[in-house]
Amino acid sequence: MYPAREYYDLIVRPTVEEFFAQHDDPRRGMLACMALLHTVDHVFQNRSADGKKAEQEITRFNDTKSHLGQGLVPGTGTFGYATVQAFANASKHARLTRAKLNPGFGSKDYEIVAPGFVGELECNASYIGDEVGGVTVLWGKFSAINLKDAIEHTMGVLEAEFHELTDPIEEAPSVAQVDP
């Protein structure tokens, strides 16, 4: 098993960077979401040798960060994190069926859009305020979120929550540093 930092640096960051370089590519977007979401698994499985306990922590963390609330009761999560989780899970399951996270959301519920700047929109091809363009996840009838923005947000959430992803890497002493 990869240590969480090694997984994040070796797998997640390059995959995300590839998508950011071509943010109109849904394949790269899905792969970035899957790799990013699995960072949580690597963190908790490295923290605990008890697989069952790690799974409980993974579920608790993802549920907390993606819970948007119901009715007038606010949730504990964010739209960006929920989008990354939904897009990653839909890529595996085709369509989400559990009530926890946007049931009915499917792996092809996205559009490729042009950036939309004030005074400069492409009719039927831009969303007001989306200055990035590219893969835009269609969350519901009247909700859409730019996938690049959602991924950037989720990386920020994970880096803030899990110090092991950003702490300086401790280097082993070199032979020259060891006293004879």
Q: What is the pLDDT of residues 4-57, one digit of tens each?
A: 999 999 999 999 999 999 999 999 999 999 999 999 999 999 999 999 999 999
Indicate the domain borders of the chain: 4-167
Would you say 62 and 83 are in contact if contact means Cβ atoms under 8 Å apart? no
Place of tokens 């797998």: 11
Amino acid 13: pLDDT: 98
Closest CA to 39 of 3, 80, 87: 3
Give the burial string for 6-39 (b: 16+ CB within 10 Å, else e).
ebbeebbbebbebbbeebbbbebbbbbbbbbbbb
Amino acid 128: pLDDT: 56
> Model confidence over 93-118: pLDDT tens digits?
877 776 567 767 888 888 777 666 55
More confident residue, 142 or 79: 79
